[in-house]
Amino acid sequence: MGFDLVPRPRSLVEGPGEVAWRLARVVVEPAWRDVVDLFVTDHVGLWPGGVDVAAAGSGDLVVARADDLDPEEYRLAVGEVVTVAAGGPAGAAHALTVLGQLADGAARVDGGLALARVRIEDGPTWPWRGVHLDVARHFFPVADVLRLIDLIAAHRLNHLHLHLNDDQGWRVEVPRWPRLTEVGAWRRSTPVGPELDGVDDLITYGGFYTVADLAAIRDHAARRFVTVVPEIDLPGHAQAVLAAYPELGSGEGAEVWTRWGISSRVLDVSDAALSFAEEVTTYVASLFPGSPVHVGGDECPTTQWSASARALALMAEHGFTEPRQLQGLFSTRVAAALRARGHEVLAWDEVLDAEVPPDAVVVAWRAVAQGAEAARRGFDVVMAPMQFLYFDWLNSAEPGEPVAQSSAPLATTWEKVYGYRVLPDDLEPEHRHHVRGAQAQLWTEYIATRDHLDYMAFPRLCAFSEVAWGTATTPEEFRPRLAAHLERLGAAGVKYRPLDAL
C-alpha cells in the first residue's frame, strides 16, 4: 500500500494487513485536550457518531507524552487502537496531522476506515520552517490569513511572517498614530499587469487589521503551533508612513505609493523619526507577546540622506563613511527596545552591510552566500534565498503563466524548490549550528486574490515543506506522492497550479 504523506516522515514501517479503525473515544492527558479537539473538529466528517474525549481509560486513539522525545517529535502506531507518543503538544499535533492524511480518502469498511498497519517515527530536522506573506502590496482579509495558517500547519510548517507595511500601504492600526490607517492604509491606484506597461486601475485600494483582527490571527495560529512573526520594515519602505506623517521624513508631501519597487522616500534620521520607529514597532510587537519580531532593514535608499545636512552631521558624529550606515541607528535602537521586552529580533540580510543588532537572526534572501556569511560571523540564520524560495517568481518559464515578479527565463519550478537544501554546501561544520531552518516568501505585487495566492504557493509550498522538514528525496520519488497530495488539497478547495505532464 502506498503512503501519500507530505512531508515524508523520517521513518515509516508498514505492518501486515489493514485494520477497520473506528474513532469513538480518545484518551489524552488534559493539558493536550485542545490538540485532540482540533483534530476531531478538522475531520468531523469522518466520525459520524461523534467522539468522546477523556483523560483516562481505554480508547480507539490514545495520545500520551513520551519523555524521550523532543517537543516536535512523535511516534504513531496504527492498529486496532491508534497510539501517539509525543514529546510535546506540537509533536502530538504533527502526529494527528499525519493520521488525518492517512484517514482522508480511506475506504469505509465495517463502519470504520480501512487503514494500513503502520509505525511512524518522526520529527523535523529544522526548528524554523516558515512562510512569509506580504499583506502590504495586496491586503488579505483575516479569513484568508486564517486559511493560510491552516494550510501551513497541515504541512507541518511552524512560522508565519507577516509583512505589515511598505511604501504601498500600512496594514495595522496604532491608536497613537491614527493617520497610519486613515491615510497610510489606502492608495489611490494600483498597477494592472506588468508595471512597466504603465497601466493603472485608478481605483482606491487598501485595508488594515484591527487589534482584534491580529489577536484572532495570533490565537488561531497558536492553536496550530504556528508562531506569527510580525514585521515593521523601517526606515526604508516608508512612503505610506510619510503620506500620513510627512514631518517624519523630508517634510515634503507624499501619497501612498502607487508603483511597485522601492520608493526613494525614507524616514529622516531625526530624534522624532527614530522614536516613531521604536514606538510603532514595539507596539505591534506587544500584540504578539513572546514572538520573534522582524525589523526589516532591507533595500533602504540613501538618496535623501545624502542630501540632508542632519544626516551628514550624524555621519560625522558617529564616524560613518557611507550614508547606508545610518540605517544601523534604526536597527540597533529598535532591536534593543524589542529585546528589552522579551522579543527575539530578525532582520533581512542587508543588515550585514551596516551594523547588525546583537543577537539578531539574519534572514538571508539575496543569495545562499549571505546566509553562509552571517553564520560565519556568528549570527543565527533563516535561509530564504530568492533563487529557490521566492514564490512570487514564475512557476515555470513556459508561455501562459500569470504575470509574476520574475520574467522568463527566470522561474522557480516545484522541482527546483525540492532540490534546494537548507545547509549551504560550503558552510564549515563549526558554523552549521547557526542555521535554524528556512522560509518561503510570498510577495504580493502580482498576487491580489486568494485563488492566485493558492496558485503561486502550491505545489511549491508542498515541496518546500519536505525540504524544511528535512526528508526530501528526489523529484522522481516525490512526484507521485505530490500528485496524490494535490488531489487532497483540491478536495479542500485549494486552487493549486496543476503539475505539468511528463
Given 197, 299, 398, 500, the catalytic residue: 299
Radius of gyration of the chain from its Cα atoms, rounded to whole angstroms: 24
- Bridge partners, 173 (sequence order): none
d(CA 38, CA 404): 36
User: In this structure, is the dihedral angle defined by the CA atoms of residues 247, 251, 255 and 261, taken in order, positive or negative?
Assistant: negative
CA distance 193 to 275: 38
Helix (H, G, I), strand (E, B) or coil at 387: helix
Reduced to 3 states (helix: H, G, I; strand: E, B; else coil), residue 17 is strand
Distance (Å, rounded) from C-alpha 333 to C-alpha 314? Answer: 15
Residue 138 DSSP SS3: coil
Contacts of 367 (CB under 8 A, 6+ apart): 385, 386, 387
H helices, E strands: number in the chain: 16, 20
- Read off φ and ψ for residue 472, nearest 5 degrees: -65, 145
Which one is catalytic: 4, 72, 134, 166?
166
Beta strand pairing status for 74-78 and 82-86?
antiparallel
Contact yes or no for 370/356 (Cβ under 8 A): no
Is 349 catalytic? The answer is no
Distance CA 218, CA 227 (A): 8
- The verdict on whether 237 is a catalytic residue reads yes
User: Is 4 annotated in the active site?
Assistant: no
Rounded to whole angstroms, how far apart are CA atoms 161 and 126?
A: 17
* Beta bridge partner(s), residue 62: 27, 83
Pick the catalytic residue from 155, 163, 220, 237.
237
Please compute, for residue 454, the number of CA atoms within 13 A of its CA located in the half-sphere on the CB side. 17
**Which ranges of 170-301 does DSSP label H, i.e. alpha helix?**
179-182, 211-223, 239-244, 271-286
Q: Is the dihedral of CA 456, 462, 465, 471 positive or negative?
A: negative
Indicate which residues carry an active-site annotation: 166, 237, 299
